[in-house]
């Protein structure tokens, strides 16, 4: 998703800096840096930390939550991961590794005083990979987990793109896309023109591009390409073989996740919805939600299904805590 900057104005929303903001120091092997977080709401028993996608994207895709979570009484935290928009941008490729991001999330959790009595981790897309890895190492700190629009296997994700999504595309356009990728010419405006028409408006956000919500437009202007390319690779149709995440697969480890977990998929997602339903079945306390009209950004193009299901899951946790207390 890294090549859309030229399609949108590079505007910002400065009001997100007012109130509830905490800059959290993150210790790494190459120094200490700060990451940006912002709290919205107040619920001592239900606090949701939002892990954005990318890698190298921003918290902005989650601004849709502002229309749903406050009214449901859910406290939530925006968070730009290290290297992302409002956080520090160190120029050191050694930082863009999955294990280091897991430790970053743990440092953020401690700084925000989130505990197993209240801490829900929600990861979308790349954030779903990060959330799964965090849960496998630190689930003792979690109240619950939400995996949104991310499969637990990159090889399976690539196979779905290759065997299901690509054959549905116009084959001449696909050949041109693949040729541009093979030549490294992904900054060519023609590349994104083709992807928008053939892929994005069908599987990323099912709206005409001119109608994409303003937070999504801002998200694409604020992407950190260095992180994205190192971890995801330059292709928009899967994760390429030399990328950090190319071989990542935790499907066989899902049974080790013991906390209540909601897995959210969507009918038209870049991720296989059947695979995501299977993931929920492998998690002992897993639940599955499939958004029937949604795509990868189902929180925008299938909002009723997405938020009704998500809020019902979160309220069930809160109700359980109250009754147990």
Give every CB contact of residue 18 below 8 A, 6+ residues apart in sequence: none
Residue positions annotated with a catalytic role: 125, 269, 296
**Tokens 């997405």 sit on residue:** 306
What CA–CA distance (Å, rounded) separates 325 from 89?
Answer: 43
3-state SS assignment for residue 126: helix
Residue 47 pairs in a beta bridge with 75, 119
**Tokens 């339903």 sit on residue:** 277
**Contact assessment for residue 45 and residue 322, using Cβ atoms and an 8 Å cutoff:** yes
Nearest CA to 84 among 129, 50, 122, 115? 50
What CA–CA distance (Å, rounded) separates 71 from 249?
Answer: 37
What CA–CA distance (Å, rounded) separates 231 from 171?
Answer: 28
Contacts 24+ apart (CB under 8 A), 299-305: 299/61, 299/62, 299/64, 299/65, 299/124, 299/148, 300/64, 300/205, 300/207, 300/213, 300/216, 301/205, 301/206, 301/207, 302/266, 303/64, 303/67, 303/68
**Contact assessment for residue 138 and residue 107, using Cβ atoms and an 8 Å cutoff:** no
Locate 153 and state its tokens. 């296997």
| 217: DSSP letter | H
Nearest CA to 23 among 14, 32, 15, 13? 32
∠ CA 69-71-77, nearest 5°, is 30
């Amino acid at each position: 998703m890294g090549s859309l900057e030229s399609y949108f104005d590079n505007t910002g929303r400065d009001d997100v800096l007012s109130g509830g903001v905490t800059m959290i120091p993150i210790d790494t092997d190459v120094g200490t840096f700060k990451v940006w977080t912002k709290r919205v709401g107040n619920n001592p028993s239900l606090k949701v930390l939002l892990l954005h996608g990318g890698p190298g994207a921003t918290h902005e895709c989650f601004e849709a939550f502002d229309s749903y979570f406050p009214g449901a009484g859910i406290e939530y935290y925006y968070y730009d991961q290290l290297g992302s928009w409002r956080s520090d941008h160190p120029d050191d490729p050694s930082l863009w590794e999955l294990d280091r991001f897991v430790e970053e999330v743990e440092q953020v959790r401690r700084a925000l005083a989130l505990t197993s009595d209240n801490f829900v981790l929600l990861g979308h897309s790349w954030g779903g990979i990060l959330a799964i890895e965090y849960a496998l190492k630190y689930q003792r700190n979690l109240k619950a987990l939400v995996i949104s629009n991310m499969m637990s296997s990159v090889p399976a994700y690539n196979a779905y793109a290759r065997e299901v999504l690509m054959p549905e595309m116009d084959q001449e356009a696909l050949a041109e896309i693949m040729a541009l990728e093979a030549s490294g010419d992904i900054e060519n405006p023609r590349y994104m023109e083709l992807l928008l028409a053939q892929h994005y408006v069908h599987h990323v956000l099912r709206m005409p591009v001119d109608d994409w919500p303003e937070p999504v437009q801002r998200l694409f202007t604020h992407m950190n390409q260095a992180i994205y390319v190192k971890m995801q690779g330059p292709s928009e149709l899967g994760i390429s073989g030399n990328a950090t995440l190319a071989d990542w697969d935790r499907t066989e480890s899902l049974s080790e996740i013991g906390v209540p977990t909601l897995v959210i998929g969507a009918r038209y997602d870049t991720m296989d919805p059947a695979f995501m339903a299977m993931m929920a079945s492998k998690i002992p306390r897993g639940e599955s939600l499939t958004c029937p009209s949604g795509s990868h950004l189902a929180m925008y193009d299938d909002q009723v299904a997405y938020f009704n299901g998500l809020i019902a899951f979160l309220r069930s946790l809160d109700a359980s805590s109250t009754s147990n207390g």
